[in-house]
Amino acid sequence: MSGKNVHEITEANFQQTVLGSDKPFLVDFWATWCGPCLAIAPHVEAIADSMSETIKVGKVNIDDHPGVAGAFGVRSIPTLIVFKGGKPVDQIVGAVPRAKLEEMVKKHA
């Protein structure tokens, strides 16, 4: 994981970091062995950098933190969920073009 505006989300910090965020929060559920996850990662990082004033972005490695993924019914990766006010408000499953991700995020930013 890289990107200065991309937070590492764990089971230990999920509640405070994501659900307690003062801004909408885009969470990317991914794994190191997932090709589509690696393909979409640059888009996620670009959104984190270009929209850092209005949204926060983080990644959950589902192999390291399966409890978080299970709590939100993540069955396929990549799954990207926007949380706002401590609740999931939108999601995309699968590798999609950056424009589609930006469109989803902008609706909630």
Q: Identify the H or E element spanning 7.
A: strand 6-8
Q: Sheet containing 87-93: which strands, arranged edge to edge?
A: 6-8, 56-61, 25-30, 79-84, 87-93
Q: Name the 3-class secondary structure at 74.
A: coil
Residue 70's CB is within 10 A of a number of other CB atoms, namely: 11
CB 104 within 8 A of CB 92: yes
Which residues are known catalytic residues?
34, 37
